Amino acid sequence: MRLFSAYRWTRSFHRLGTRGRSFIEAPWAGGVVLLVCVVIAMLLANLPLTSDFYHHFLETELSLSIKSPDGSIDWLFPEGMTVEKFVNDGLMVVFFFTVGLEIKREVVCGQLSSVKRAILPVVAAGGGMLMPALIYLCFNSGTLSANGWGIPTATDIAFAIGILSMLGDRVPVSLKIFLTALAIADDLGAILVIALFYGGKVQIFCLLGAFLVMAGVLFMNRMGEKRMFYYFVPAVIVWTLFYYSGIHSTLSGVAMAMLIPMTPRYSKEYFLHKMQNMNQVIDEIDCSEAEFPNEEHRECLRYMSRLSSRSVGMSYRLEYALSPYVTFLIMPIFALANAGVHISSAEYLNIFHYSSEIGSVGMGVFFGLLIGKPLGIFTASYCAVKARVAEMPQGASWLMLLAVACLGGIGFTMSLFVDSLAFTDDGLIDRGKIAILMGSTAAAIVGAVFIFLLTRKKHRA
């Protein structure tokens, strides 16, 4: 009886592990985890028992203090680092690094690798950034909130692709590829916006130091260095120099991603030759079927594993290895640290509140995401196709492209990040966060319902 009970428990854990792996591999899983973390953050920020602890915890200092016995030296590193800043300036470097690797892959051998492939998503991404910024400025030009024009210009790829995946075959594959390429081009645009418009006072010597280190890394890359350690140490140095330079430190992740080699350490011929030799060695090791793999076999298999790994470019290996941690650890932590808005009055929930002094962050962001993004994406795409500069995605209609463009208004992660950079006033930051959550939710609902209605007759048939 006990053996049977233990067997049932083992089977249960096995099924749980299988379901867990299936969940992690699902394209919509990252969006679900982010959504859960947003709800948790809002609860932590507003429940009486957790509100004070939540905000005090985010303001906790994390800097390393170095003092001499006589007190003549008192040095903090990194200076001004808190839990919230560690998430936004530290952990998010890994997110931006992964984004940089994705952009590089798409430009080198993906959907942005040729003018014909890249022109439509790039043009659409440009329109999808320009129109929301203009709509935002219509509400906030000349007010204290004008600097937030970059907030509604970004698309959250995790949520957008997740919703498309849940809609299944209702959306043509060509439009899924179009939205993915658009989101990646949009990320590149958001990175440029952050670099050009949301940095602080530039410390030129720190910036020059970072460029010198990156030049050294580029030279090392050109000389054929493929070992990961020799790229990790310069990456830490570049992050430190960016942190003190006035340019947002997360951009160091993008800069270093562009310097990571894509070519593998071992060539195809070398890999095949070595694998053939190892297969022969394994075949010649004398052992029975029951003894396989013995210690000699395991050593050979470990060598073959290292050989296989080093026959894949470092850029691809890092992107594959980091993606689960970014999706299920770093982005959820970012959501927990940034989505928690303490709603002290009904005024915060009224995103349509406007005043001549501060404008309306809420209306600018909400309508920028809900109307500006799809209008900009659709208009730019329409003009590019009609001018014969680009081709319409295969099997797509204009109405379906408009419906998919609505999902471009989901601007969660990057929009929250820009919101934290655009303002210094906590009230404006919180209004921006609420508008981002409401605008992204509205865009997701409108896009999903639009797609569902367009394909209802087809699926009934």
- pLDDT per position as a tens digit, 105-114: 988 888 787 7
Which H helix or E strand runs over 77?
strand 74-77
Q: How many CB atoms lie within 10 A of CB 236?
A: 12
Of 43-57, 153-167, 291-305, where does mean pLDDT reach its minimum? Answer: 153-167
Work out the percent of the chain whose per-residue pLDDT is above 90: 41
In the structure, what pLDDT confidence band is assigned to residue 7 with cuts at 50, 70 and 90? Answer: very low
Residue range 260-272, pLDDT digits in tens: 999 888 888 999 9
Q: Mind listing the pLDDT tens digit for each residue in 195-224?
A: 888 877 778 899 899 999 999 999 999 998
What is the average pLDDT across 318-330? 91
pLDDT(43) > 50: yes
Token pair recorded at residue 374: 């799809």
Cβ–Cβ under 8 Å, residues 58 and 84: yes
How far is 192 from 240, CA to CA, in rounded Å?
20
CA-CA distances (angstroms) from residue 431 to 188, 279, 354, 368?
26, 63, 12, 14
Find the mean pLDDT for residues 78-90.
Answer: 86
Output the pLDDT for position 79: 74
Is residue 14 scored above 60 in pLDDT? no
Q: What is the pLDDT of residue 132?
A: 96
Quick check: 322 pLDDT over 70? yes
> Binning pLDDT at 50, 70 and 90, where does residue 461 land?
low
Region 218-247 average pLDDT: 91
Asked if 125 and 185 touch (Cβ cutoff 8 Å), the reply is yes
- 235 close to 291: Cβ distance less than 8 angstroms: no
325-340 b/e (C-beta count within 10 Å ≥ 16 → b): ebbbebbbebbbbbbb
Contacts of 223 by beta carbon, 8 Å cutoff, 6+ apart: none
Residue 15 confidence (pLDDT): 59
Read off the amino acid at residue 86.
F
pLDDT at 386: 93
Task: Please compute the mean of the pLDDT values over residues 323-348 and round it to a whole number.
Answer: 83
Model's pTM, two decimal places? 0.84
| Region at 26 (left for phi over 0; alpha for psi -120 to 50; beta for the rest) | beta
Q: Which residue has the higher pLDDT, 237 or 341?
A: 237
Residues for the chain: how many in total? Answer: 461
Average pLDDT over residues 274-294: 83
Give the Cβ contact number of residue 345 at 10 Å: 7
Among 238-247, 284-293, 408-417, whose mean pLDDT is lowest?
284-293
Mean pLDDT, rounded, of the chain: 85
Q: What is the mean pLDDT of residues 86-93?
A: 91
Distance CA 444, CA 460 (A): 23
Does the pLDDT value for residue 404 go beyond 70? yes
Segments in 110-250 forming alpha helices (H)? 115-140, 157-166, 173-197, 204-222, 229-245
Question: How does residue 347 score in pLDDT terms, banded at 50, 70 and 90?
Answer: low
The DSSP call for residue 359 is B
**Closest to 178 in 3D by CA, of 107, 132, 118:** 118
Q: What are phi and psi of 26, to 5 degrees?
A: -70, 135
